[in-house]
A and B are shown apart, each in its own frame.
Chain A
Amino acid sequence: MTALGKLLRTTAFKLTLVYLTVFALFAAFLLVYFAWNTRRLITEQITQTVDAEITGLAEQYRQGGIRRLVFVVDARSRRPGSSLYLVTTRAGEGLAGNVGSLATGILETPGWTETAYRRLDDPDGAEHEALIRVFQLPSGFRLLVGRDLEERERLHDIVLAAGRWSLAIVIVLGVAGGFFVTRRVLKRVDAMTDTTRKIMDGDLAGRLPVAGTGDELDRLATNLNAMLERIEGLMYGFKEVSDNIAHDLKTPLTRLRNRCEEALRLAEDESQYRAALESTIEESDALIRTFNALLMIARAESGQARDGMTEFDAAEIARGVGELYEPLADEKGIQLKVEAPTAAPVHGNRELISQALANLVDNAIKYGAPDGAPANGAGAEIVVKAVGEGDRILLAVADGGHGIPEADRSRAVERFVRLEQSRSKPGSGLGLSLASAVARLHGGELKLEDNHPGLKTVISLPRAASVAAVS
């Protein structure tokens, strides 16, 4: 497709053409109307003048007869820029006036006529157009008075010429302007097209150019960029997941395989086989759990779990999860307290939020107890809180353990990351990732804070609107 062809096909150019046509038609109509009105006005003035002269001359005739009329007409005819005059006998013989020749038959029809004439005092004897009136005097004489129309025609021509020129200028400027505007827009659209092609070819980091003018194209580009950002994030997430799956699932799978091989090679009796098989099942259960957690994170991150969201009270979730974990904490000498005094309405997937909070509590129980916690009354404590704070609902779990150094906090949320101190304890390394993915699914976030001492994990969610108004 040639550049011009492309230009001619663009929407902007087509629009320019439509506007141009409408505007030109409108301008032409205005001009015609203007010209016609001017012409009418001039004609009206001429007829008034001629009528007045005829009345005056007829009066002269009535008072002084034909002699006086002839005398007056002669005098008037000689004035420069005078009207046209002609007085004839009944037979058509000219008695006085400045009209040289006339088309035949004009004098026979009284009233208004537009006709060609020659002037007596005109040295060239050129033919002109005039508007004349023939008046029958009582005694059979005829009086003709008229005005030259040249002025009117000249004005008409001037208006028409001006009209044609301005129309031409409108069209030329319109087309040029249209081309200019269209080309500018096209250039930007072309730039966008190029970028999208590059992105489709695999350059996921590419972004559409934004001119910074804040116009529609900029808004479109900004939105598309946000979309690309999200897609890149998801793609990166997927890649990361598959890399991590490859890495972190292969290790336990290898262990599982080794154990089976070892059993085949070394086991001597049934009890040894049994032990090997049991540990195999245990290992595969752990693998399944990891896999499920990964799937759950992927679902939360892709936003699939958005169906089935309802409104519920997060305080109830805090109490429920607290109640579920309380005996476990108790068994480890940790006191688990729930502080959820008022309703904390949120809109979301109850199951996922419960699980996210359960993960945080689980972590707190696993890592939150100071090593060798003194069992002397001042034991470790975990506080689960559900509180409203402005338009947010905070689900917080605070422990008194070692906490996580600030530098490691953002890394701790990533999949499979298990910080040094936790490597020795069981767990998939996915708990915080899931909590974070769930928080983001609900338009919130997971924050890790210092509890002085210990760690405070906070899931911050938007407060549900409808209930917030009530409470």
Chain B
Amino acid sequence: MRLLIIEDDRDAADYLAKAFREVGHVADLATDGEEGLAQALDGQYDVLIVDRMLPKLDGLSVIGTLRSKGIETPALILSALGQVDDRVKGLRAGGDDYLPKPYSFSELLARTEVLARRRGGREETVYRVGDLELDRLSHQVMRGGSEIILQPREFRLLEYLMKHAGQVVTRTMLLENVWDYHFDPQTNVIDVHISRLRSKIDKGFTQALLHTVRGAGYVIRDSK
């Protein structure tokens, strides 16, 4: 994955670039809005990581300009500003995802990977991971030939996990995409939902598909 990080805080930018390179991605840096815009126009990137407040040209304008030129590279906005309305503004300006500072790298990585993959588009009607099968049209879930009955929310949870099979999804990503809540519940309610789902899809099978990634989130994958 090729990334462009537009962030004026040199330390933060270097840290991010280093962290992304460590997990095998290519990361370029730009330290102000104009430079970032020029690079984004030039290079072929899978994802842009754009700080909201930048010298010369602010992050939302960078994204707006790119979109007006027909460049649809997914962009993730980093912002130190508040949450609810700021997020809405960011997404309205053409951003694809939004992460308030301070963030954890695992959260950023998970979101970036999801954004990069989204371009390919995984919009099949049936998702398959190992012997687990989810039919998005008939809302049927089968594993090893027998049907698993899920509650509507459990179905959506599994659907989201399987859509991003092999990728780590974080708790906040689940909360945002499955529940459409953008706040942080004080208790980790998601964990309980996951363990319920896990008991339905993995219980009784020798091979577990739904895994917890410590300090990051969850991943559904066929580890064979």
Contacts and interface: CB of A to CB of B under 8 A. Distances in A.
B206 to A, nearest CB: 25
A352 B184 CA distance: 11
A278 B196 CA distance: 27
B189 A288 contact: no
Interface string A412-431: 00000000000000111001
A41 interface: no
A308 B88 contact: yes
A354 B179 CA distance: 11
A328 B192 contact: yes
Contacts of A359: 186
Interface residues of B, number: 23
A241 to B, nearest CB: 15
Nearest to A321: B181
A461 to B, nearest CB: 17
B181 A328 contact: no
Given A351-B182, A355-B183, A431-B186, A323 B85 contact: no
B82 interface: yes
Interface string A254-292: 000000000000000000000000100100010011001
A296 interface: yes
Nearest to A320: B179
Nearest to A278: B215
Contacts of B102: 288
A297 to B, nearest CB: 11
A365 B186 CA distance: 11
A307 interface: yes
A308 B187 contact: no
Contacts of A304: 82, 85
A431 B84 CA distance: 17
A351 B215 CA distance: 26
B85 A308 contact: yes
B85 A305 contact: yes
Interface in A386-430: 426-428
Nearest to B85: A308
A362 interface: yes
A355 B175 CA distance: 12
Given A288-B102, A308-B84, A323-B153, A366 B192 contact: no
A289 B100 CA distance: 12
Nearest to B88: A308
B186 A428 contact: yes
A324 B186 contact: no
A114 B192 CA distance: 120
Interface in A411-458: 426-428, 431
Interface of A: 278, 281, 285, 288-289, 292, 295-296, 299, 304-305, 307-308, 320, 323-325, 327-328, 330-331, 349, 351-352, 354-355, 358-359, 362, 365-366, 426-428, 431
Given A324-B179, A355-B181, 11 more contacts: A278-B215, A281-B215, A289-B184, A305-B84, A320-B179, A327-B193, A327-B196, A328-B192, A351-B183, A352-B84, A362-B186
26 contacts: A281-B104, A295-B82, A295-B83, A299-B84, A304-B82, A305-B84, A307-B85, A308-B84, A324-B179, A325-B189, A328-B187, A328-B189, A328-B192, A330-B192, A331-B192, A349-B84, A351-B183, A352-B84, A354-B181, A354-B183, A359-B186, A365-B187, A366-B187, A426-B186, A427-B186, A431-B186
